[in-house]
Structure 1
C-alpha cells in the first residue's frame, strides 16, 4: 500500500493536470463557436460556384477541359486534411483509418496532406507524400485553399494523378463529426444534375472551355476550403470532448485517491494510538 506522502504527491499532480485540461476545454469552447461560423459562411460560396458550374455545362455546348478528363486509373491521389496538434481524442486515428481503408484496393497511392500529425503518421509508414502543409489546420485561410487546389489541379493535369479524393472530417454538430472521402477530380457531373442548371442560350467569351476551366478551378478551391473549415471545426469539437472527458476522469481519480489517502492516514493514526497505549501499559 502506498504511503500518505506518495498519495499526496499523486493527488497534487493530477490536480495540476486537471487545471490544464480544464483550461484547454474552455479555450476549445470559445474557438468552436468561431469555427462553426466559418463552416456556415463557406457554404453559400461553394453552392453558388456549384450552381454556376451546372449552368455552364447545361448549355449543351461542347467543351474541352482537362479537369473533366477521365482516364484509366493507375495512380490515385488523396488530399488528407488533418491536424497539427494532438490531444483531440480519436480525431486523427479515424482520419488515417479512413484513408487506409479506402486506398487498400486502389493500387498506387500518393498523398497531399494538411497537418503535422497526419504527415508524421504516414511518413513513419513510408507512404508516398508529394506535398504537405503544416501550421494552417487550426485557422485555415482561403489563400491556403487556393494554393492547395492549384497544386492538386497541376498534379492531375500533368498526369501524376488519374483520380483525386478529398478526405476530411465533416462537422455536423459539436457532438457529431464524421470522416468523409469525396471524389474531386476528375469533375463528374451527374446527368440528373444538369436538369437543375439554366438552359437559356448564352454566349461565352472568350470561349466555353476557358470559362468552364476557370469556374472549375474556383469550385475546386471552394471545395478544398470547405474541407479545411470543416476539419478545423471538427478538430476543435473533438478536443473539447476529449478535454471534457479528461477533466471528469481526473476528478474521479482524485476522489479515489483522496479516499485511499484518508484510509492510509486513519490506519497510521490508529497504529500510533495503539503504540502509545501499549507503551503506557508497559510502564505500569
Structure 2
C-alpha cells in the first residue's frame, strides 16, 4: 500500500492538472465564440455565391472555363488537408488525417499519383510520418485564418490544374456542425462541378430570381469561377478553425471531469491508508500494554 505522502502528492499533482485543463477549456470557449461567429457570417455569403454561379453556369457551355473542363487523362491528384496547429483536441485531427489518407489510397487505386498540400502542423506532421508526398505546407497559420491564406492555397491549385500539372483537387477539412459534432468532410474542388440550382416546392429547378449580367456571361465566369474555389477553401479553413476550438473545449471538459474522478479515488485511497496506519499503531500500543501487564 502506498504511503500517505505519496498519495497526498498525487492528489496535489492531479489538482494542478485540473487547474490547467479548466483554464484551457475557458480559453477554447472564448476563442470558439469568435470562430463560430465568423463561419456563421460567411456561410450565407458562400451559399449566395453558389446560387449565382449555378445560374450563370447554366447559361454558358460546359467548356466555357478551364476549371469546368475535366481532363481526358487523370494522372495526378492533389489533396488540401486542413488541420489544426496544436493538439489536445481529442481525435479531431486524427479523423481528418485518416480521411485524407483513405482518399489518397482510393485515388492511387484508380492509378493516380497523389500529393498533399497541408494547412496546419498536425496534418503536415502526420502526412510526413506516413511517407506521403507534400508539395505545400502552411504551419502556424490556423490561429489567424484570413482570405489571403485561402487565396494563396487555392491559386496554387488553380495554376496546377490550368497547366495540366494536376487533374483533380480535393479538400479534406473538419466541418463545424455543432458544439458536439465536427465530422471530417472531403470536397472535390477541381474540376469544378457547376452547382445545381435549388428546387422550389413543386420540384422545378431554377433560381429564385433572374439575373442580368454585365459584362457577358463568359467574361464574368472567368472572374467568378477562380473566386468560387477560393471561397470554398476559405470556408474549409473557417470550419476547421471553429471545429478545432469546439473539439478542444470538449476534450478539456472531459479531462477536467476525469481529474475530479481521480481526485475522489485518491482521496478515498488516502483515507483508507490513513485508517490502516492508525489501526496498525493502535494494535502496537495495545500489544505493548498487554506485554507490560503480563
The answer, yes or no, to whether TM exceeds 0.5 is: yes
The answer to whether structure 1 residue 120 and structure 2 residue 134 are counterparts is no
Q: 1:123 to 1:260 in 2, by over 3 A?
A: same
Two-structure CA RMSD over aligned residues (Å): 2.0
Structure 2 SS opposite 1:171: coil
The answer to whether structure 1 residue 244 and structure 2 residue 253 are counterparts is yes
The answer to whether structure 1 residue 257 and structure 2 residue 258 are counterparts is no
Structure 1: how far apart are the matches of 2:189 and 2:77?
12
Q: 1:191 to 1:6 in 2, by over 3 A?
A: closer
Q: 1:63 to 1:163 in 2, by over 3 A?
A: closer
Contact persistence 1:81–1:167 (CA under 8 A): yes
2:242 matched residue in structure 1: 233
1:75 matched residue in structure 2: 76
Contact persistence 1:45–1:222 (CA under 8 A): no
Structure 1 SS opposite 2:145: coil
1:109 matched residue in structure 2: 114
Structure 2 SS opposite 1:160: coil
Q: What pairs with 1:34-45 in structure 2 (closer than 5 Å)?
A: 34-45=34-45
Q: 1:13 to 1:64 in 2, by over 3 A?
A: same
Deviation at 1:245, TM superposition (A): 0.5
1:30 matched residue in structure 2: 30
The answer to whether structure 1 residue 91 and structure 2 residue 92 are counterparts is yes
Q: 1:62 to 1:35 in 2, by over 3 A?
A: closer
Q: What pairs with 1:1-284 in structure 2 (closer than 5 Å)?
A: 1-60=1-60, 64-71=64-71, 72-107=73-108, 108-189=113-194, 195-197=205-207, 202=213, 204=215, 208-284=217-293
Structure 2 SS opposite 1:167: strand
Q: 1:102 to 1:186 in 2, by over 3 A?
A: same
Structure 1: how far apart are the matches of 2:161 and 2:79?
11
Deviation at 1:62, TM superposition (A): 7.3
TM-score normalised per structure 2: 0.89
**1:210-237 deviation per Cα after TM superposition (whole angstroms, max 9, x unaligned):** 4312111111111111101110111111
Deviation at 1:203, TM superposition (A): 5.4
**1:238-262 deviation per Cα after TM superposition (whole angstroms, max 9, x unaligned):** 0011000010011001101110111
**1:10-57 deviation per Cα after TM superposition (whole angstroms, max 9, x unaligned):** 111111111100111111111111111111111122123222322332
Q: 1:192 to 1:18 in 2, by over 3 A?
A: closer
Structure 1: how far apart are the matches of 2:61 and 2:75?
30
Q: Number of matched residues? A: 282
Q: What 5-or-longer segments of structure 1 have no aligned partner?
A: none
Contact persistence 1:59–1:199 (CA under 8 A): no
Contact persistence 2:51–2:197 (CA under 8 A): no
Structure 2 SS opposite 1:168: strand
Q: 1:162 to 1:258 in 2, by over 3 A?
A: same
Structure 1: how far apart are the matches of 2:65 and 2:122?
35
Q: 1:248 to 1:282 in 2, by over 3 A?
A: same
Deviation at 1:97, TM superposition (A): 1.2
**1:151-200 deviation per Cα after TM superposition (whole angstroms, max 9, x unaligned):** 12112222222011111111111011111101111111256669535666
